[in-house]
Amino acid sequence: MFAGFDFDVLIKSLPFLWLGMQLTLQLTVLAVGGGLILGTVLAVIRLSPIKPLSMAVAAYVNFLRSMPLILVIFWFYTLIPRVTGTSVSSFYSVLIAFIMFEAAYYSEIIRAGISSVRRGQISAALALGLTPPQAMRYVVLPQAVRNMIPVLLTQSIIMLQDTSLVYVVGLRDFLTSAEIVAGRDNRPIELYLTVALVFLVVCFSASRLVNLMRRRYSL
Amino acid sequence: MGAYNWNWPILLKEPYFGWIVSGFGNTCLIAVIAWAIAFPLGSAVGLARTTELPWLRLIGTAYVELFRNIPLLAQMFVWYYVVPELLPNDWSQWVKRDMPYPQFYTAVLCLGLYTASRVAEQVRSGIEAIPRGQRHAGLAMGLTPGQVYRYILLPVGYRTIIPPLTSDFLGVFKNSSLALTIGVLELTSQARQIEEYTFAAFEAFATATVLYCMVTGLVILIMRQVERRTRIAGTIALGAS
């Protein structure tokens, strides 16, 4: 079955594939960072007592979560140039799409993490004479963060896999680069199996690490 | 936004109206058939991971890790471009020449097998959340392992995982959009095509968005009812998300 497996094609296209991998990693890191920041802001607003604001955020989160990521990418890809009137590189339009999309998911994780801390803990902290910010800083957040970090990391691994969707706007990430080589050299088997294997190894190891961490630091 | 020429009526003209209808139909069809694969298969894989047989658990774990750690789009390309090449000769010939709607069925199979790995995780966690004492009590009363699953673990397990299973169904509904990468004309690709033909980008994408949101809302409403009807007395209901 694998008698005709051509490693030469892979070796020759390695530099090109590595360029694609760099774009994948760059996009993942920036989108995770941006998504976390925006997601935290959204979660804080969602938990705030100001009803109209928290409802607006809830609507945003539910709206984005009911859309396919590909459609969100298309939206921003055509929307941003029209709104700003200037052409934006597809990298930035895709990056913004990812940040807006992932923030919706991150904010739910962060909100669940904060909500998972029992009310009694806050009451106890306040009864001990801590101020509300101190109660947040020393009692709620240390527990909440420990609860949510494994889930946030798992979501980031999913995010790494999702970056492959930039294929639909022709951005040259790892998978798209492989697709280009596969078409050029007519070697789909070698290229696609390599992509699958690389992702499998990276994502599997990463999720094992997350599990290990979860076991070590869980409350 | 400068001078954008709104052109909603164009969506009601042929062929564009027909494109949206057929795209929406394809999206729903892909999601439903893929779910029909994912639910039984995922249940079987999830159950395998809760049995006492090490080799069966290993197969279940391997399945889940394999499908969960490769991007869905890469899986789509492997099923479409690689698998037909690796099949025995006459199968390969059939897939390449005689199989009807090859893109459609490839997409359905790919989504079904991928979603099965997610269903498997929910089923496993649903069963593992049941206190071990229930399984032991069942066995102590003389039930066979099969009966323990049939009468104790499954009825409780499935009812507790209705909300995450709803999310997974909505997941396969949204993920059906990836079928466009191998040329299936589902909702997102039809919207994209209308945009390319008419430049009515906002109208086309907004229509697709509204349709996705409507189905999501409808499914959540229905599943909330199902959840209420099947709730186990004394447990707290969690809303589907």
Report which DSSP code applies to A39.
H
Instruction: Give the CATH number, domain containing residue B115.
Output: 1.10.3720.10
pLDDT digits 0-9 by tens, B81-140: 999 888 888 888 888 778 888 899 999 999 999 999 999 999 999 999 999 899 999 999
ipTM value of the model? Answer: 0.89
B220 → chain A, closest CA residue: A66
Domains of chain A, earliest start first = 7-217 (1.10.3720.10)
Chain centre to alpha carbon of residue B77: 18
- Residue B64 domain flag: yes
Q: Print the domain residue range for B51.
A: 9-230
CB neighbour list of residue B79: distance below 8 Å, 6 or more residues apart: B106, B109, B110
- Residue B3 domain flag: no
Contact in structure between A38 and A103 (CB atoms under 8 Å): yes
Determine the Cα angle at B197 with ends B195 and B203, to 5°.
Answer: 35
**Tokens linked to A11:** 């070796």
Residue B239: per-residue pLDDT: 46
- What mean pLDDT is predicted for residues A197-212? 94
> Which chain B residues are within 8 Å of A66, Cβ to Cβ?
170, 174, 212-213, 216-217
Sign of CA dihedral B40, B64, B168, B52: positive
pLDDT digits 0-9 by tens, A76-106: 998 888 777 777 788 999 999 999 999 999 9
- Residue B238 domain flag: no
CA-based nearest residue to B158, from B221, B214, B230? B230
Encode burial over B112-128: b for 16+ CB neighbours within 10 A, e otherwise. Answer: bbbbbbbbbbbbbbbbe
pLDDT digits 0-9 by tens, A63-84: 999 999 999 999 999 888 877 7
- Residue B191 domain flag: yes
- Residue B77 domain flag: yes
How far is CA B55 from each of CA B41, B49, B51, B194, rounded to the nearest angstrom?
18, 9, 10, 51
Say if residue A1's pLDDT is above 70: no
- Residue B4 domain flag: no
**Tokens linked to A36:** 């976390």
Cis peptide bond upstream of A15, omega within 30:
no
Say if residue A197's pLDDT is above 60: yes
- What mean pLDDT is predicted for residues B155-182? 93
Say if residue B180's pLDDT is above 80: yes
Encode burial over A52-91: b for 16+ CB neighbours within 10 A, e otherwise. Answer: eebeebbebbbebbbbbbbbbbbbbbbbbeeeeeeebebb
Provide the number of structural domains found in chain B: 1
pLDDT band at B236 (very low <50, low <70, confident <90, very high): low
Q: What residues of chain B, 192 to 231, have a C-beta less than 8 Å from chain A?
A: 192, 195, 201-202, 205, 208-209, 212-213, 216-217
Q: Which residues of A touch B (CB under 8 A)?
A: 1, 63, 65-71, 74-75, 78-79, 82-83, 85, 108, 161-162, 164-165, 167-168, 175, 179, 182, 188-189, 192-193, 195-196, 199-200, 203-204, 207
- Residue B19 domain flag: yes
Contact in structure between B240 and B162 (CB atoms under 8 Å): yes
- Residue B149 domain flag: yes
